[in-house]
Amino acid sequence: MKQVKDKYFIPFIDSTTLQERIKILAQKVNKDYKGKNPLLIGVLNGSFMFLADLFKFIDIECEITFIRVSSYKNTESTGKVKQILGLQEEIQSRDIIIVEDIVDSGITMQEILGQLASKKPASIKIMTMLFKPKSLKVPLKLDYIGFEIGNKFVVGYGLDYDGFGRNLDAIYVLKE
């Protein structure tokens, strides 16, 4: 059991299981993007560890970059929007793979997808390490999924509880 701040977490997905699954995801990318030079766009902070490990198993020509999504901001015209920060690369006509740690309600991913799609890339696919299908609130097609999990709160391997727990080398679930 691990303590992160005031809560306790129990082992959920161990490091070997994670690495085996990540290797399979990378092999799919190697096959699907052979000869294409995709740009992998990691969503910070949560995806950094997953994407670092995934990237080591990718053996086709490809590039990597990272974005950050600002927390919800209220604007008078559109209501709540999340803004993408840090994208320096020209993505027009590129093959894009967005890489996330977890898709929960799907709202964050839907907004990222919309904003990147408006820049006219050749293609966009989504990869997420974890997916909570029962929590999904918006229509979203996920192309590569590491693991589907129930509606539980998890930490570790990049995922945080209030900023902490990201350094755990495996995924832990909140002890009820």
Cα 13 to Cα 11: distance, rounded to the nearest angstrom: 6
Select the residue interacting with ligand IMP from 26, 159, 168, 171 (CB under 6 A).
159
How many residues bind Mg ion, per CB under 5 A? Answer: 2
160 exposed, middle or buried (CB, 10 Å; 0-12, 13-18, 19+)?
Answer: middle
Stretch that binds ligand IMP, among 11-19, 58-66, 85-93, 151-159 (CB under 6 A): 151-159
Rounded (10°) CA dihedral 130, 92, 139, 158: 20
* Residue 46 lies near Mg ion (rule: CB under 5 A): yes
Contact pattern for ligand IMP over residues 103 through 142, marking x by CB under 6 A = xxxxxxx---------------------------------
Pick the piece of the chain touching Mg ion (CB under 5 A) from 2-10, 85-93, 95-103, 167-175. Answer: 95-103
Angle between helix 15-32 and helix 48-56 axes, rounded to 10 deg:
60
Instruction: Give catalytic status of residue 53 as yes or no.
Output: no
Q: Token digits for 144?
A: 């590569």
Is 83 near ligand IMP (CB under 6 A)? no
Residues annotated as part of the active site: 104
